[in-house]
Structure 1
């Protein structure tokens, strides 16, 4: 039996992205990049209440710090947001000289480092880069990307995954968790004849990758060896990202972008996949 895809959110995003589940507080965060908003779904496993936080510029990803604070990538910078007061504090900025660039996808690793990539908004060249924020110190890790996207780690943290959407490739690196370093870049998945471009992604506890197909109307599951084993057809074309949530992390939450002729586009969806995902990790900030 095919899993049932359900609409979860009331909010309809222009460009939904970056879903992150905060297991400690049973809430899910996601962003509307072009709407300049963070959406908070409080009480995933019970009755959900939706809260909207307005921001001054394009917001593309976030990580939870604690019960009241998150850190988000907004245009060229990392900002700390108090979700109760709306107070926003700039931590640092990069690439302010690259006007066609902005931050895109980002996630925290198990030791609380924030990995976030930039993209060329015109998709005109490989001006994007991947950065690592460790407390308040930033390092450039990788260059030559067009749209740095979907990030993830294997269950034993010896591999890291990264997507470059326009070139339609999913890369795998050897990952040293203690040092926070990546080595030996290889192509794990070439999207080839797959519909759409690979966008956001997440990893389950079996080490399989779940990838959103931007323009392809589905989410696909791939083995650690790069073989497709399963896919979920979506009722919308522009599927942007995925994360696991819920009490046992077996519910897949899926973001999307608005398309004029698709009523459900821009919504946050949920699917009970009966496969447990890996948790979202918090940002470690030593003030």
Structure 2
């Protein structure tokens, strides 16, 4: 089923590889990154203004700390970025000896831990890993990923979802929020004959997961309890990278894309109202 959606472009900025949209409810701002453009972009939904900040290297994901600071994955490390001063502070670093790896997608859980994975930039070898940053302590959680990608949690924080893009599957794990541990890997969604590969994702308050189709030109909504697709939203860009929920009512989706196709709007950030509310993004907790 195709859902009729009145998608509009939120961004003036056109990304090379737009990714990782994060909505902060306290500030009513939408943050996202251009990985290959090496930029953090902020759309202020109160004023309609758009601001972007140059980063020193490939920036792939971020979590908000407060109104002036974010923490971002940049190449091999987590950095606290003070946007008011344009300064960076390295928190933790991994895999500096693996030049073909870089950080990819990441998110914070409800207790403020930052979970982020790495990927093989040739996209062919399982050299990627999945990490948890708690304060300034980093722990490797999983090994053997090729492109660690979209992640999220169910509404009760008892399940974590994680995508390894070349497998064309969304995996699910039992999640212990208090301990910050995952167990019992299973398949939640198999993309099967779907066009494109699964990329970024979000979860709504009904427990359904929304997945961006890299190379498939759409976002699809799935029931992880039976692995069935509910509907899809067509996007006017072939390479759809991620999706998140936002606005104070949490009933809009924000969809990032890459400018790697001939589509006129490729690389733009899109938004539309939907009939379900999403789960919030969380801030990083400095301990």
TM-score range (shorter-chain normalised) is over 0.9
SS in 1 for 2:219: strand
- Alignment of structure 1 residues 238-257 onto 2, 5 Å: 238-257=239-258
* CA–CA distance in structure 2, aligned partners of residues 52 and 282 of structure 1: 20
- Alignment partner, residue 4 of structure 2: 2
Aligned to 2:83: 83
Q: CA deviation at 1:260?
A: 4.5
Matched ranges for 1:168-187 at <5 A:
168-187=168-187
Counterparts of 1:95-114 in structure 2, within 5 Å, are 95-114=95-114
Equivalent-residue separation in structure 2 for 1:12 and 1:18 (angstroms): 15
Structure 1 residue aligned with 2:238: 237
What 5-or-longer segments of structure 1 have no aligned partner?
A: none
1:37 to 31, 36, 39: 39
Match of 1:12 in 2: 14
Q: How far 1:116 sits from its partner (Å)?
A: 0.2
Q: Give how far 1:259 is off.
A: 2.9
- Alignment length, in residue pairs? 284
Relative to the length of structure 1, the TM-score reads 0.98
Separation in structure 1 between the aligned mates of residue 204 and residue 168 of structure 2, nearest angstrom: 21
- Which sections of structure 2, spanning at least 5 residues, go unmatched? none
Q: What is the DSSP-based 3-state SS (H/G/I as helix, E as strand, rest coil) of the residue aligned with 1:166?
A: helix
Q: What's the CA shift for 1:224?
A: 2.6
CA contact (8 A) 2:238 2:261 kept: no
Alpha-carbon RMSD: 0.8
Q: How does 1:97-246 map to 2 (within 5 A)?
A: 97-225=97-225, 226-246=227-247
- Deviation at 1:83? 1.1
Q: Segments of 4+ in structure 1 off by > 2 A? A: none
Q: Tell me the secondary structure at the aligned position of residue 43 of structure 2.
A: strand
CA distance in 2, matches of 1:131, 1:254: 25
1:124-168 Cα deviation digits (max 9, x unpaired): 210000000000000000011000000000000000000000111
Aligned partners of 1:260 and 1:231: how far apart in 2?
21
Task: Spell out, residue by residue over 1:215-269, the C-alpha distance to the aligned partner (whole angstroms, 9 max, x if none).
Answer: 0000000013121101001111000000000120100000000034211000000
Tell me how far 1:123 sits from its aligned partner.
Answer: 1.2
C-alpha deviation, 1:47, in angstroms: 3.2
Structure 1 Cα separation of the partners of residues 186 and 257 of structure 2 = 28
1:265 corresponding residue in structure 2: 266
